[in-house]
């Protein structure tokens, strides 16, 4: 009889300790130093999907919270997010992370709300970290004041992981899920799933559930069956 997985969530995964930096060590070092630096900071990280932007934003939220500082993570692609009013009062927090910020470009109410938040955070020594797939200078903000402020952020490009680093990251992710991922299976996933960490981790999540239901190990034939490769 198949086992029904319990609706229990994973413990928090997106931490600095589980981030495989690859060529992004400078970005990681900068973010690790944010808590210690009490001054206002505006940062923008950009890179292709799966390069680790959301991971870093959430890791910083967790790390700030662990140090007793208040933080929030707002993914702009989340359809469940209410209107721009959700940005009200965030200047009272120590750290604000806004993911997929390009989503609000051209949406007047959101742009004004982000502009106001930027101004308030700056005067209250808060930290604003934004992430997008492109750098601020090419995002089509309709409010010039917001565009210029975004362009004045410290901008970092996240480089996607090379094959070796991606393999390490994949195994790290599996280990966080309590899964044993043999080398042969990891290589198989790397060869057959789209080569970015979002896609790889998404596949791993599917495999996690399937393996629990069928009580099977992550062998290559099992992976092939589940992912229908």
Partner 1 sequence: MTENPAVCPSLWPQCTRALKAELSEQQFNTWIRPLQAVEEGSVLTLLAPNRFVIDWVKQHCLDLISAELRSAPNSGSASVVLEVGSRRKLSATESRNPPLPKLGPSEPKVIGSPLNSLFTFDQFVEGKSNQLARAAAVQVGTNPGHAYNPLFIYGGVGLGKTHLMHAIGNVILRRKPTARVAYIHSERFVSDMVRGLQHNKISAFKKTYRTLDALLIDDIQFFAGKERSQEEFFHTFNALLEGQRQIVLTCDRYPKEVVGLEERLKSRFGWGLTVAIEPPELETSVAILMSKAAAEHCQLPEEVAFFIAQRIRSNVRELEGALRRVMANSRFTGQPITLQFTKDALRDLLALQEKLVTIENIQKTVAGYFKIRVADLLAKRRSRSITRPRQIAMSLAKELTTHSLPEIGDAFGGRDHTTVLHACRRVKFLGETETRIAEDYANLLRTLSG
Please say whether the beta carbons of 158 and 51 come within 8 A. Answer: yes
Q: Does residue 151 interact with partner 1 by CB under 8 A?
A: yes
Q: Which residue in the set 5, 23, 49, 67 belongs to the binding site for partner 1 (CB under 8 A)? A: 67
Q: Cα–Cα distance between 35 and 37 in angstroms, integer?
A: 5
Q: Does residue 179 interact with partner 1 by CB under 8 A?
A: no
Q: Cα–Cα distance between 45 and 11 in angstroms, integer?
A: 26
CA 116: distance to chain centroid?
24
For the bound state, the minimum distance from the C-beta of residue 221 to partner 1, rounded and expressed in Å, comes to 31
Instruction: Write out the E strands in 38-148.
Output: 41-46, 71-75, 95-99, 127-132
Q: Does residue 74 interact with partner 1 by CB under 8 A?
A: yes
Token output for 124? 């209250």
Element (H, E) at 112: helix 108-123
- Please count the residues of this chain forming the interface with partner 1, following the rule CB under 8 A: 65
Contacting range for partner 1; rule: CB under 8 A; set: 90-98, 160-168, 177-185, 197-205: 90-98
Binding site for partner 1 (CB under 8 A): 8-14, 25-26, 29-30, 33, 38-40, 58, 61-62, 65-68, 70-75, 78, 81-82, 85-86, 88-90, 92-94, 97, 112, 115-116, 119-120, 122-126, 135, 137-138, 144-145, 147-149, 151-157
């Amino acid at each position: 009889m198949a086992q029904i997985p319990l609706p229990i969530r994973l413990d928090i995964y997106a931490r600095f300790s589980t981030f495989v930096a690859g060529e992004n060590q400078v970005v990681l070092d900068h973010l690790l130093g944010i808590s210690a630096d009490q001054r206002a900071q505006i940062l923008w990280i950009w890179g292709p999907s799966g390069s680790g932007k959301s991971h870093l934003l959430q890791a910083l939220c967790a790390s700030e919270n662990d140090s007793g500082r208040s933080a929030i993570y707002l993914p702009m692609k989340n359809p469940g997010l209410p209107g721009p009013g959700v940005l009200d009062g965030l200047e009272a927090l120590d750290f604000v992370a806004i993911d997929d910020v390009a989503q609000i470009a051209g949406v007047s109410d959101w742009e004004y709300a982000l502009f106001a938040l930027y101004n308030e955070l700056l005067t209250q020594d808060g930290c604003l970290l934004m992430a997008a797939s492109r750098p601020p200078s090419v995002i089509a903000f309709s409010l010039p004041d917001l565009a210029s402020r975004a362009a004045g952020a410290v901008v970092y490009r996240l480089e996607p992981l090379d094959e070796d680093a991606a393999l390490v990251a994949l195994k790290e992710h599996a280990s966080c899920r309590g899964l044993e991922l043999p080398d042969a299976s990891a290589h198989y996933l790397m060869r057959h799933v789209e080569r970015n960490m979002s896609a790889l981790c998404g596949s791993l999540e599917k495999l996690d559930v399937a393996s629990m239901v069928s009580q099977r190990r992550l062998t290559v034939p099992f992976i092939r069956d589940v992912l229908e490769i």
